[in-house]
Amino acid sequence: MSSEWPLFEVFIRSKNGLEHRHVGSLHAADDTMALENARDVYTRRQEGVSIWVVESRHIKASNPEAAGELFEPAMDKIYRHPTFYELPIELKHI
């Protein structure tokens, strides 16, 4: 029984103005079906106004073992945050 439908990831915009968010996955034979299945499975309670689906195998994910070199170098770049710069508190709108 190798006739399993491929896996898709589902992203839903809950309302206009918000971004699409990953909500889960499902199986479908093709992307048309994936979209319909996503509608039937993940928006039964008015969870969304827009759906994206993508076959899971098309997602390239970062490797957690590389998390050190990927993400830690940003940790000490505190000068990228507004609180790094000291200004007198009486100053407004800046």
Q: Which residues bind other proteins (CB under 8 A)?
A: 1-5, 7, 23-30, 32-33, 36-37, 40-41, 44-45, 61, 63-65
Looking at beta carbons only, is 7 or 49 nearer to other proteins?
Answer: 7
Q: How far is the CB of 26 from other proteins (least distance, A)?
A: 6
Q: How far is the CB of 31 from other proteins (least distance, A)?
A: 9
Classify the C-alpha dihedral 81-83-86-89 as positive or negative: positive
d(CA 27, CA 38) in angstroms, rounded, equals 9
Neighbouring residues of 4: CB distance < 8 A, sequence distance ≥ 6: 27
